[in-house]
Amino acid sequence: MREVAIFRHNLFKISEPFITQQAQQLERFKPFYLGRLRYGDPPNGAEAMALQDRPGRSTLPGIGWQMLTRDPQPYQRLMGNHRPALIHAHFGIDGVYALPLAKQLRVPLVTTFHGFDATLANGYFLCSPAWANYPLFRRQLARQGAVFLCVSSFIRDRVLAMGFPEERTHVHYIGIDLESTGVRAPDQETPMILHVGRQVAMKGTVYVIRAFARLAQQIPGVELVIIGDGPLRKRMQSLAQSLGLTERIRFLGALPHQQVMTWMRKAAMLVLPSVRTRTGRNEGLGMVLLEAAATGVPMIGSRQGGIPEAISDGETGLLVSERNDEELAAAMNTLLNDPAMRLHMGQQARTLVERRFDIRRQTAKLERHYENTLSSKT
């Protein structure tokens, strides 16, 4: 079976289960994982190689040099006898770093764009040593990369605006494993509003808390659960305290995917009011929305980024204006007070993901991209 190298600098981050979920669904290609650093364990039975694992080397200087030069040799030595048929890089930044390796191995490079790699302003990339090469070599990636996949139509539009070729740039939804994500029973629902996302400005957590404060006195017994960690967590906890909501809001931090899904099954709704930040960063799609939909949980999101591709307004959930906690509170109140609407929207949401976001069907399409890329190479 032909191998594909799944390339991600930061392997197995708790916030990125979608990378391994997709790769492990491959049937005609065998994945192995290649990257700079490990943040967790690979899937059972999968092989993973990271630069930090190299024995007898000074890890940080060696990684720093590779980060600066994009030298493919460290990765080539790390792979040993592996000879992938192609490389699949996740995030445009990783594509820029994987390109010299693909050229060295003379194999095609497939790159998936997820969000910030297509929306963040160039100046912010240049300020980071780990990202600085991205705006410098992005045009080279556009010329020499084989295929560019985008997690939503919104992201594809942004990638095309950056100068990537239209004929090689495609929308490809990663999808959700519907077999392992069953619809929850109606009696599993509790009076709990769920918000899942890294504690960064883009996720709109501040608006969730402010909207919840508008509801808390009117609707006793309902609570807000926030899953995710990040630089704004302490600020969000301070906001909850200043609003007198410490007994009604739970901050659980980052949790493994299975624990997130356990909380999902209890939620009356999932709320993700993402915003466009001053840096230009925007939501690519919102995989957690698809997970809620697969579970039969209605959603509320903002009319921003790729979110409207995951939520059908008035059918599978509700869309609100960004940065508007009053409108968000009204939508949350509407769902909380209408159990029949929640049930109907949850059922419609499941139907939507079955039709558009089944990971098995989507991964079969991915393998067709692989096959077509290899055929055109020969």
What kind and span of H or E run contains 211?
A: helix 205-216
Asked if residue 363 and residue 351 are part of one domain, the reply reads no
Asked if pLDDT for residue 58 goes beyond 60, the answer is no
Are 42 and 20 in contact by the 8 Å Cβ rule? The answer is: yes
| Residue type at position 265 | R
11 lies in the same domain as 126: yes
Q: Do 258 and 301 sit in the same domain of this protein?
A: yes
Lowest mean pLDDT among 54-63, 131-140, 330-339: 54-63
Amino acid at 190: T
Residue 139 shares a structural domain with residue 129 = yes
- The two beta strands, 29-35 and 169-171, are unpaired
CA 315 to CA 251: how far, in whole Å? 30
How confident is the prediction for the chain on average, in pLDDT?
95
- Please report the pLDDT score of residue 65 as a whole number: 83
- pLDDT computed for residue 116 by the predictor: 95
Residues 6+ apart with CB under 8 A from 378: none
What are 88's strand-pairing partners? Answer: 6, 110
Q: What share of residues in the chain are helix, strand, coil (percent, to 5)?
A: 45, 20, 35
Q: Provide the pLDDT for residue 129.
A: 85
- 220 lies in the same domain as 86: no
Examine the pLDDT at 59 and tell me if it is beyond 70.
no
Q: Are residues 43 and 113 in the same domain?
A: yes
Query: Residue 223 CB: number of other CB atoms within 10 A?
Result: 16
CB 224 within 8 A of CB 249: yes
Residue 190 has pLDDT above 80, yes or no: yes
Within-domain flag for 180? no
331 pLDDT above the threshold of 80 = yes
CATH number reported for the structural domain that contains residue 310 in this entry: 3.40.50.2000
Give the Cα separation of 147 and 286 in Å (integer).
Answer: 22
Alpha-carbon distances of 115 from 87, 208, 275, rounded to whole Å:
20, 21, 13
Of 162, 174, 154, give the one whose Cα is nearest residue 276. 154
What's the pLDDT tens digit per position in 24-33? 999 999 999 9
Largest Cα span, the chain: 66
According to the model, what pLDDT value does residue 57 have? Answer: 52
Q: Does residue 237 sit within a domain?
A: yes
The CA radius of gyration of the chain, in Å to the nearest whole number, is: 21
**Residues 218, 364 share a domain:** no
Number of domains comprising the chain: 2
Is it the case that residue 191 has pLDDT exceeding 60? yes
Query: Do 54 and 122 belong to one domain?
Result: yes
* pLDDT at residue 99 tops 90: yes
294 near 350, Cβ under 8 Å?
Answer: yes
Report the interhelical angle of 339-356 vs 325-336 (nearest 10°): 100
The domain of 167 spans 2-175+358-377
83 and 153 fall within a common domain: yes
Strands of the chain, DSSP E: 2-7, 10-11, 29-35, 37-38, 48-50, 86-90, 109-113, 147-150, 169-171, 192-196, 223-227, 249-253, 269-272, 299-302, 317-320
* Strands 192-196 and 223-227, sheet pairing: parallel
My answer on whether 192 and 287 are in the same domain is yes
Q: What is the pLDDT of residues 209-257, one digit of tens each?
A: 999 999 998 898 999 999 999 999 999 999 999 999 999 999 999 999 9
Candidate from 127-131, 154-158, 225-229 with smallest mean pLDDT: 127-131
Considering the domain boundaries, does residue 181 fall inside one?
no
**pLDDT (tens digit per residue) in 301-324:** 999 999 999 999 999 999 999 999
Same domain as 217, residue 97: no
In this prediction, residue 8 has a pLDDT band, given cuts at 50, 70 and 90, of: very high
Percent of the chain surpassing pLDDT 90: 91
Query: pLDDT per residue over 268-277, tens digit each?
Result: 999 999 999 9
pTM of the predicted protein model: 0.94
